[in-house]
Amino acid sequence: MMQGGAQTPLQHLTTLLGADCIVTEPTALEAVNIDQLRTYRGRALCIALPRSTADVSRLLKLCNALRIPVVPQGGNTGYCGAATPDASGTQVVLSLRRLNAIRSVDPANYSMVVEAGCILADVQRAAATAERFFPLSLGAEGSCQIGGNLSTNAGGVNVLRYGMMRELTLGLEVVLADGRVLSSLTALRKDNTGYDLRQLFIGAEGTLGVITAASLKLFPAPRASATAFVAIPDPERAVQLLSHLREASGDQVSSFELIPAVALELVTRHIPGARRPLDADSPWYVLCELTSPRVGEPLEHRLEDALAEAMERGLATDAVLAQSERDRREFWQLRENIPHSQRLEGMSLKHDVSIPIDRLPRFVARASAWLETHVAEGFLVCYGHVGDGNLHFNLNERRGVPPGTLAARREEIRRIIHNLVQDEGGSFSAEHGIGQSKLAELQHYADPVELNLMRTLKRTLDPNGILNPGKVLNVA
Ligand code: MLT
Ligand code: ZN
């Protein structure tokens, strides 16, 4: 309660940035108060829409002085509730959507500098206009923002060849909790001047600082590609097929995605126009793509030959190559529509896990067997970036069970699955982050020394705990 003539936090913020940078309109607040999976709902004090890094700096300085909590939010496409405010009505949602300039593209240095509010697809387009390639690619690329991609260390479908956001970032501009600006937008590939601070902020989900711009790596644009939809007997053969294709293609595999029969069934049932690429049924499929920057490289022949050999060796049972760009897009739409089809089918539980690739088939067998005997209310939809050892080991609620039955078992099921992941040397968070949904998991599975160091870093960089409190770590 504010006394006498003292200003409220909202008045302070409005005075600082101007009324056109502070939004309290209920429909706008509703959109930021809820996450895209509709698992978390909060109540923001307002949305702050700064116009520049200097604005972000002034905003954080004020929030730090007044202890106003700040929740950075990009395109609000995350899965772990990292960008959702709590229910207190005191937190400012910080949107960087006005910081959406492509500051520079440097084709000779294969790099570009972009602001955090840029939509990922716009970053890809700006690179393509300069005849370069920015490889981060994921289902939400038309609406997610690069600041969110950096803050969650996003992965997607090209990690196998190009790496995650950590590998794609050369430098950062970050506003610290007290408003100081760490300006390190270097484009250097080699720079051993002390600690690598940029990696602290990538994947920190806005808990250590607010990323306002980034210097990103670019690559030669792909000029040739070959894409195949392949039927395989089991995940074990998927792993062997990947090795075979990497060798046979001269390591030109850029994507290698696992799709189970049930996912194909969901997509073809829910998405108008989606059709099966192969007639015969198979329990599993792989969508794989070879790419090369060399115009006219005969990748189709190479893939065809490699797949023929794979079939002789029993690694695959059938395959079809995309004959046109339209075929290729259709194959990819089947893959990209799996999460959407899962949502259309009903409630689901997500487990974004990674396993060393040689142990991945055993994990799938063990975890599937447990689910079959113990979880009658759900069915498994296990798909993902098998080339990176990353599976989306998701469960959908079965039709006919009383709604909420599967959700009621969320914690129990995920603990068992994550225990199996740990047992196989894997991680319970591969590419979606921690947010609020996996906070307890981090606490449970992280090495105590690691957890302690993380807390020390958090306290050092954000002593007043204003940056995205309650996400990633609980800090007393
Ligand atoms: C995907 O790869 O489609 C997403 O990361 C996974 C998901 O939506 O569960
Ligand atoms: Zn994914």
Q: How far apart are CA 226 and CA 302, in angstroms?
A: 9
Please, which pLDDT band fits residue 5 given cuts at 50, 70 and 90? low
Strand partners, 352: 392
Ligand approaching nearest to the C-alpha of 267: 1
Query: Which of 476, 469, 470, 466 has its CA nearest to residue 64?
Result: 466
Ligand 1 near 350 CB (within 6 A): yes
Question: Helix (H, G, I), strand (E, B), or coil: what is residue 344?
Answer: helix
Query: Which of 468, 410, 463 has its CA nearest to residue 441?
Result: 410
For residue 475, the model assigns a pLDDT of: 87
Ligand 1 near 335 CB (within 6 A): no
For residue 229, the model assigns a pLDDT of: 98
User: Ligand 2 centroid vs 96 CA: distance in angstroms?
Assistant: 24
Residue pLDDT, tens place only, 114-165: 999 999 999 999 999 999 999 999 999 999 999 999 999 999 999 999 999 9
Query: Which of 39, 37, 218, 264 has its CA nearest to residue 113?
Result: 218
Ligand 1 near 135 CB (within 6 A): no
Name the residue with the closest Cα to ligand 1, atom 2: 384
Q: How far apart are CA 240 and CA 178, in angstroms?
A: 51
For residue 363, the model assigns a pLDDT of: 98
How many angstroms from the chain centroid is the CA of residue 365? 26
Please name each of the domains of the chain with its CATH number.
9-95 (3.30.43.10), 102-220 (3.30.465.10), 224-338 (3.30.70.2190), 346-433 (3.30.70.2740)
Q: How far apart are CA 241 and CA 286, in angstroms?
A: 9
For residue 3, the model assigns a pLDDT of: 52
Which of 102-120 are b and which e, b meaning 16 or more Cβ less than 10 Å from the residue's Cβ? beebeeeebbbbbbbbbbb
Paired sense of beta strands 92-95 and 46-48, if any: parallel
For residue 182, the model assigns a pLDDT of: 98
Atom of ligand 1 nearest to the CA of 335: 3
Q: How far apart are CA 303 and CA 314, in angstroms?
A: 16
Residue 76 in contact with residue 83, Cβ under 8 Å? yes
Ligand 1 near 179 CB (within 6 A): no
Q: How far apart are CA 162 and CA 59, in angstroms?
A: 35
Q: Is 72 left (phi over 0), alpha (psi -120 to 50) or beta?
A: beta
Residue 4 has pLDDT above 70, yes or no: no
Tell whether the torsion through CA atoms of 319, 325, 326 and 331 is positive or negative.
Answer: positive
Residue pLDDT, tens place only, 422-476: 999 999 999 999 999 999 999 999 999 999 999 999 999 999 999 999 999 988 6
User: Ligand 1 centroid vs 316 CA: distance in angstroms?
Assistant: 25
pTM over 0.75: yes
Q: Which residues contact 37 (CB under 8 A, 6 or more apart)?
A: 79, 343, 350
Ligand 1 near 426 CB (within 6 A): no
Least trusted range by pLDDT, from 3-17, 157-171, 264-278, 320-334: 3-17
Residue 340 has pLDDT above 60, yes or no: yes
Q: How far apart are CA 141 and CA 199, in angstroms?
A: 22
Ligand 1 near 361 CB (within 6 A): no
For residue 1, the model assigns a pLDDT of: 46
Tell which one of 338, 342, 429 to mutate to probe ligand 1, the residue whose CB is within 8 A of the most ligand atoms: 338
- Interval 324-337 mean pLDDT: 97
- Interval 275-302 mean pLDDT: 96
Residue 205 in contact with residue 435, Cβ under 8 Å? yes
Paired sense of beta strands 22-23 and 70-73, if any: unpaired
Residue 342 has pLDDT above 50, yes or no: yes
Tell which one of 392, 394, 414, 429 to mutate to probe ligand 1, the residue whose CB is within 8 A of the most ligand atoms: 392
Task: Give the C-alpha distances (Å, rounded to integers) separating 354 from 25, 91, 135, 360, 423.
Answer: 41, 33, 21, 8, 12
Ligand approaching nearest to the C-alpha of 340: 1
Atom of ligand 1 nearest to the CA of 157: 2
Kindly state the DSSP code that residue 137 receives in the 8-state scheme. B
Residue 153 in contact with residue 166, Cβ under 8 Å? yes
Ligand 1 near 139 CB (within 6 A): yes
User: Ligand 1 centroid vs 319 CA: distance in angstroms?
Assistant: 24
Residue pLDDT, tens place only, 169-218: 999 999 999 999 999 999 999 999 999 999 999 999 999 999 999 999 99
User: Ligand 2 centroid vs 333 CA: distance in angstroms?
Assistant: 14
Ligand approaching nearest to the C-alpha of 159: 2
Residue pLDDT, tens place only, 37-65: 899 999 999 999 999 999 999 999 999 99
Residue pLDDT, tens place only, 216-242: 999 999 999 999 999 999 999 999 999
Ligand 1 near 237 CB (within 6 A): no
Cβ-based burial of 436 (10 A; exposed 0-12, middle 13-18, buried ≥19): buried
Cβ-based burial of 447 (10 A; exposed 0-12, middle 13-18, buried ≥19): exposed
Residue pLDDT, tens place only, 56-95: 999 999 999 999 999 999 999 999 999 999 999 999 999 9
Ligand 1 near 339 CB (within 6 A): yes
Residue pLDDT, tens place only, 368-401: 999 999 999 999 999 999 999 999 999 999 999 9
